[in-house]
Amino acid sequence: MSTFATASVSTHILDTSIGRPAADVAISLEARTGSDAQWVSLGGSATDVDGRCKDLPALPEGTTHVRLDFRTEPYFASKKQAEAQQDAPRVRDSGAFFPEVAITFAVTPGEHYHVPLLLNPFGYSVYRGS
């Protein structure tokens, strides 16, 4: 058993256009062990009714970079979200101006990284949370 601590990652999504969590957004997780290393898919999950993704796969030992890929197009195309946002301008034919949001960040072993996504049909923002 290794005594080397790995980094950990969590996320949540707030749809700022309606002021509510974004549920049922698929998220995939990739990692690599250096700037020149290949990305390795670790799997993924989806946000719950609170916009949280509590079961992302663990990062392998030696991970230095992480990529979260949020599949936003199906979320914005959903009838439930469209009804909640009835006063907003219609989204383009693709279902979303940003059909996916990929966030890449560096990690340090032993640290936890909470990376929230603030989302709306025409923009997004991310930050390192706690």
Question: pLDDT for 63-79, tens place per residue?
Answer: 999 999 999 999 988 85
State the alpha helices, DSSP H only, in the chain.
Answer: 73-77, 79-84
Q: Can you list the domains of the chain with their CATH numbers?
A: 8-116 (2.60.40.180)
Q: Is 103 exposed, middle or buried (0-12, 13-18, 19+ CB in 10 A)?
A: middle
pLDDT at 104 over 80: yes
Separation of alpha carbons 94 and 108, rounded Å: 37
Q: What pLDDT score was predicted for residue 1?
A: 45
Q: Give the confidence band of 2 by pLDDT, cuts at 50, 70, 90.
A: very low
**How does strand 117-120 pair with strand 8-15?**
parallel
Count of CA atoms in the C-beta half-sphere (13 A) of 105: 21
